[in-house]
Each structure stands twice: as structure tokens, then as C-alpha cells.
Amino acid sequence: MVMKNPDVEFCGYCITHPSESKINFRIQTRGSLPAVEPFRKGLNDLMGVCQHVLSTFEKSMKEYRAQREEEMQ
Amino acid sequence: MAARRGTDEMRERVVLGEFGVRNVHTTDFPGNYPGYDDAWDQQRFEEEFRVDVVGEEDGVLEFDMVGIDAAIANAFRRILLAEVPTMAVEKVFVYNNTSIVQDEILAHRLGLIPIRADPRLFEYRNQGDEEGTEIDTLQFQLKIKCSRNPQAAKESSDPNELYFNHKVYSKHMTWVPLGNQTDLFPDADFRPVHDDILIALLRPGQEIDVLMHCVKGIGKDHAKFSPVATASYRLLPDITLLQPIEDEAAETLQKCFSPGVIEIQNIKGKKVARVANARLDTFSREVFRHEGLKNLVRLARVRNHYIFSVESTGILPPDVLVSEAIKILMGKCQRFLNELDSVPME
């Protein structure tokens, strides 16, 4: 999600040591914004994606179940 | 025009060559392709994204997610396996175990039994809390003793006739309500999902008397807490015939793929092969072993079409599990957003 932002020049992560749950996350912008902004925008966009996926999935399940009810009758 | 088609293929298809796989990684980031606008656009995503439920039976749910990136689909899969919570036996208090099965083996087996209890009704146990309260613990008792059947025939050697209770099944586990659990869950029926899981075998005189505490946990901690038998996805196959294939070659081609993928039609007396249903194929790449056929077919996968298959252990239905997994990912994003807002940035 952060990579999809055109202001981001570099974005990467690495895990410092497999025994510790820590991730080094690096975002570099093209000099216009503070780097926290693409991070925040990425998180918000990801929340939006999840919300949309959840509502679409539940709608599809409902339609599928309704269609199966009809076929059984 | 050809160049545009080439880049479209690079963006949208993962191509399986004879000796390797090409175009594996996602490359549609802003700036990579001139002429394409790849910046994140929620509206474009919502227009192209769709979920199609293919089938649901016996706890297995198969559905398609189209228009999503690999990282997010993989995140859902990993959360389904490791981070959706369930209730499972964690502490086993052994009062009496004279059976052949050792205490720790018995405890291990009891932990792996799936318990039909909705984990959303319970809390996680606090760290260091040994006793357990009624909001985070379910108590089960297994008390069974094997005895000889005095009515058995003298010569019989069938253990079913000779002994009572010689097989300990999961149906012998009974729920013991703690505190005010009878009021909190008036019509709940907490028991193992399956009644016929064999826990141990006994002979006359042996008995098992244990008390079990179930707690809420996640698969990352111990695999017994994983709510799915397994959750997996595959990409939609895409088979293209680069040239028309006829007669004997068509027959060989049909045998190279899984049944139902290639269909042979009779056009003007000649047998012509046609791709009927690429979705059924499992890509054994048999076609690359035939010199005459390997250059006439392109095997590829559609990069953003995921065919998910989620099989639940029976605790929660699979569609509830998928919804919970998506909510957990949202919860994680929210936690980081809250942290960003609360920690002062210099």
C-alpha cells in the first residue's frame, strides 16, 4: 500500500533478528512530505481495503445462501 | 501495440515456462510503467474488486477474490492460520491416571481436541493468573473407569463384549460450569466438536480422572488453537493455445492436462482442441515433455485472481472465520494508527 503512493521513493522492511518480534520499516519520500504521512495514508488505505473486502465478502455470502435456498425450494 | 500487449502480460500474468516461472513479483507501482497510472485509487479498486462464492459444504468454503494484491491475500491466509482465536484445553489437572497412556501424552491429546465454544464470548486469560475466572476459562471433566462385564460369554475375545468403558471417547468429556457461567450462557452446550475422537484405551481396573481448563489462544502460540483444518489459495490458471491443434496432437494435448480442461470439438470432420475450463487444471506441466506441443501452448496464471479454500475444524463456520480474519487485520491497522497519533514525532 505504501509502495502505491507516488510520493514514496523507497520503502522496505527487514526483520532484525528472527527471535525478536521487531521489524525495521523504512520509508523515504521525494523530499516533499514528512515520511510519516505515507505511512499514515498507507494504513488508512489498508483499513479501507479491508472494510470493502469485508462488506463485499459478506454480501456475496448472503447472495450465495439466498440462491441456494431458492434452488432447494 | 505488441509492446503494450507484452507489458499487459507482464503486469497481469505469471507465466510458467519450461524451466522456470516468469513475472512472479508484483510490479505495478507508480513510475514503473510509462503510460500506466498505478497510484492507489480506492474507487478503481472498488470497481474492479469482487468476491464470488463457489461452494460451501461440510465446513469447506471455496470462494474467489478477484482484483486484490498478493500481499493482502496472503495476509488473510496467514491470519486465518495463526491469529484467529479459539478455545482449547490448556491446563490438565490429573487426579488419577492408572491407564497405559502417560500423563503428558494424555494432556497433549486432550489439548488437540477442538472444543465447540465461540471464542468471541470469552476473554484472554491474564498473564500469571493460575486459577482462571469465569470470563476466560471453560472447565471440563473426564472421569471414566473400565470394568469387566460379568455377563460376557466364556470364550469371547471381543473387547466390546468383555469390558465396559474400555474406549475413552471425547463424548465422555463433560462441561463443569464455573461461577456464574450457567447464568451467562443459559442455553450453551459446550462440548468437543466431534463425539467420536478416541482419547485412550483402558482395561479393567484402570481409570482416568482429570479436570481440564480451556482458555482462549491463537495459532501463533500453539497449533491447537488454529481454527482451520487448513486455509489455502491458488491463482486462477490461464491456458492459451498459440496455434490451432488438431487430430492426434489434440488427443495428446487433452491427456496432458487434468480431465475437463481441454475439450475436443469436431469441426468439419477434423478434431480440434479447445480450452474448456482452465480452472480445473493443476498444472503438472506434462505438456512440456512433448516436443511437438510445448511451443504451442502458453501456461500462465492470472496474477490477481485468488481461489481460496478454507476448511474449518468445526468450531466456527468458515465464512465467520474469514470475516474474523479481515476484522483482525483492520484491528492491527487501527492499533498502529493509534500509536502514530499518541507517540509525539519530532
* Contact with chain A for residue B40, Cβ under 8 A: yes
Contact A64, B318 (CB under 8 A): no
Nearest to B212 by CA among B201, B230, B224, B226: B224
CA angle A52, A57, A61 (to 5 degrees): 150
Q: Smallest CA–CA separation between B84 and chain A, in Å?
A: 15
The pLDDT value given to residue B292: 82
The pLDDT value given to residue A30: 84
* Contact with chain A for residue B335, Cβ under 8 A: no
Look-up of cell digits 491427456: B255
The pLDDT value given to residue B233: 93
Please list the ranges in chain B whose pLDDT falls under 50: none
Share of residues in chain A with pLDDT > 90 (%): 32
Candidates A1, A40, A56; nearest CB to B51: A56
The pLDDT value given to residue B212: 93
CB pair distance less than 8 Å for B45 and A49: yes
Q: Quote the radius of gyration of chain A (alpha carbons, Å).
A: 20
CB pair distance less than 8 Å for B340 and A53: no
A43 contacts in chain B (CB < 8 Å): 333, 336-337, 340
B53 contacts in chain A (CB < 8 Å): 60-61, 63-64
Q: Smallest CA–CA separation between A31 and chain B, in Å?
A: 16
Give Cα B342 distance to the centre of its chain. Answer: 36
* Contact with chain B for residue A6, Cβ under 8 A: yes
Candidates B65, B337, B345; nearest CB to A43: B337
Which of helix, strand or coil describes residue B274? Answer: strand
The span from the CA of B143 to the CA of B92, in Å, is 13
Q: Residues with Cβ < 8 Å from B194, sequence gap 6 or more?
A: B114, B170, B314
The span from the CA of B70 to the CA of B76, in Å, is 10
The pLDDT value given to residue B16: 85
* Contact with chain A for residue B72, Cβ under 8 A: yes
User: Which tens digit of pLDDT belongs to each residue from B111-145?
Assistant: 999 999 989 988 888 877 777 788 888 899 999 99
The pLDDT value given to residue B4: 63
The pLDDT value given to residue B344: 66
For B39, the closest chain A residue by CA position comes to: A4
Nearest to B15 by CA among B277, B238, B292, B261: B238
For A5, the closest chain B residue by CA position comes to: B39
Interface test with A, best of B37, B330, B336, B345 (most A CBs within 10 A): B330
Give the CA dihedral A1, A21, B113, B122, nearest 10 degrees.
Answer: -80
* Contact with chain A for residue B46, Cβ under 8 A: yes
CB pair distance less than 8 Å for A3 and B29: yes
Which of helix, strand or coil describes residue B188? Answer: coil
For B335, the closest chain A residue by CA position comes to: A43
Burial B67-93 (b: 16+ CB within 10 A, else e): bbbbebbebbbebbbbbbbbbbbbbbe
pTM: 0.87
Contact B312, B231 (CB under 8 A): no
